[in-house]
Amino acid sequence: MGANGEDTRKTLSLSKGEGILKAVWSPDGNRIAMLRFRQSAEKIEATLESVDPKSGQVTLILSDSKLTVRDPGLSWLTDGRIIYSQAEPPPKQFESNLWQIKTDIRTGQPVGTPRRITNWAGLSVGGHSATTDGRQLVVLKSVGQGDVYVGELEARGRRLKSVRRVTLDQRYDFPTGWTADSRSILFTSDRNGSFDIFRQSLDQSSPELLVSGPEQEMMPRLSPDGAWIFYWVRPDFFPWSTSPARLMRVPVSGGQNELVLTAPLFDTHRCGRLPGTSCAFAALEGGQAVFYTFDAIRGKGPELMRIDVNPAGNYHWDLSPEGSRIAFLKEGEGRIRIISLKGKPEQTVTATGWAGFNSLDWTADGKGLLVSSWSPSQVATLLHLDLNGKAYVLWQLKGSFLTYGVPSPNGRYLAMEGGTTESNAWMVENF
């Protein structure tokens, strides 16, 4: 469109499962460079492309699975170079550096091979832009970490007190479970490089390593009988990854880990919290999330239900403590579906004044939900939501867009994710 919004016209149409992460004009204003992703049930592809805004003709510049979609940056310089961010290979998948590729400005065709510009360690780069003459580049260097916090619940789980940080390292730590006695938190951490499984008692300052390996061991959750820890293993760790995962088991008391099943996991696996209840996982099959039961010995069990989903969307779900209901939400919306596995009518829960939900867990008693909500004005907020839509603020985390809560089996404690990011703008020259 024109500078005043006139003469609006379509340049490009996207298909289902596609998105544009970043777009910039060519130096002569005749083409647009863009980072496009395509997500299917099997994989996600990221490409750097250029498009003629008049004809809509698209030219592929670069296809690479490591093109970062976390902090996308894109600059097209007057000499034809395109500067972009690229993620490092595992176990440094949260880090990225600057790369460049030379193009023909007129056609958008690549005329060279990709070349690395920076070799920074321990941070990610993105959000960059160049001066008009292309001699200086300003870039955001960001360092992030995720920490485990714990607080005490009171007022029937509607109020939180005595919040303290449990993990004291500067890596990514993600709590997902508890031991049956409610005395220790189960969490994932990349403190040793790749993601491994740890257990830490509430009265200790350092954790115990439970499972480690060269791949990514994630999401430890306790079996209903308290005898096993279930977790999944992937060769990579990306929230959008749809590569098949191996669901594993390891005794709580320690010992040999063993395979339970292999599936293209949808979000994660969950277990009922009462003895005698079952566990469930969801597999992404075509355009549906298909839910199955599983147990430690027999592996995959009967199908529970199916839900239509968008492969490009992010979803969260949890199995209720008694194992008879599944709570389900699409990330970014403010609507939670509660689906009965016993044939009862479906229930929808919303909360007035709150939206942008990006996590979901049942409370320990199954009478409410723990959801996180994010907005620029309300920061990351952890809510206790009763099934009538009444919301109670438990915790707010400034400077972050993500938090969530995992209740202890006895309902007395809440383990929480507290992520922080430090970003600074730097000037780059002679690149």
Top pLDDT among 41 and 53 is at 53
Confidence of residue 378 (pLDDT cuts 50, 70, 90): low
**In the numeric block, which tokens belong to residue 113?**
């091979």
**In the numeric block, which tokens belong to residue 317?**
């779900």
* Separation between Cα atoms, residue 52 and residue 348, nearest integer Å: 45
* Separation between Cα atoms, residue 12 and residue 245, nearest integer Å: 35
List, for residues 102-129, the tens digit of each pLDDT value. 999 999 999 989 999 999 988 889 888 8
pLDDT over 80 at 16, yes or no: no
CA 346 to chain CA mean position, Å: 27
* Torsion, CA 392, CA 398, CA 403, CA 406, rounded to 10: -60
Cβ partners under 8 Å of residue 301, min gap 6: 278, 292, 293, 294, 295
Angle 164-170-175 from CA coordinates, rounded to 5°: 55
Mean pLDDT of the chain: 90
Confidence of residue 39 (pLDDT cuts 50, 70, 90): low
So what's the pLDDT on residue 401? Answer: 73
- 3-state SS track over 278-296: CEEEEEEECCEEEEEEEEC
pLDDT over 90 at 313, yes or no: no
So what's the pLDDT on residue 58? Answer: 95
So what's the pLDDT on residue 199? Answer: 97
**In the numeric block, which tokens belong to residue 430?**
């002679």
pLDDT over 80 at 94, yes or no: no
Top pLDDT among 105 and 67 is at 105
CA 343 to chain CA mean position, Å: 32
So what's the pLDDT on residue 239? Answer: 47
So what's the pLDDT on residue 144? Answer: 83
Q: In terms of DSSP bridges, do strands 18-25 and 32-39 run parallel, antiparallel, or are they unpaired?
A: antiparallel
List, for residues 324-354, the tens digit of each pLDDT value. 999 999 988 889 999 999 999 999 999 988 8
List, for residues 235-260, the tens digit of each pLDDT value. 766 544 556 899 999 999 888 999 99
Confidence of residue 69 (pLDDT cuts 50, 70, 90): low
pTM above 0.85, yes or no: no
pLDDT over 50 at 311, yes or no: yes
List, for residues 148-206, the tens digit of each pLDDT value. 999 999 999 999 999 999 999 888 999 999 999 999 999 999 988 889 999 999 999 99
* Separation between Cα atoms, residue 123 and residue 108, nearest integer Å: 30
CB 117 within 8 A of CB 99: yes
List, for residues 397-410, the tens digit of each pLDDT value. 887 778 999 999 99
So what's the pLDDT on residue 423? Answer: 86
Confidence of residue 95 (pLDDT cuts 50, 70, 90): confident
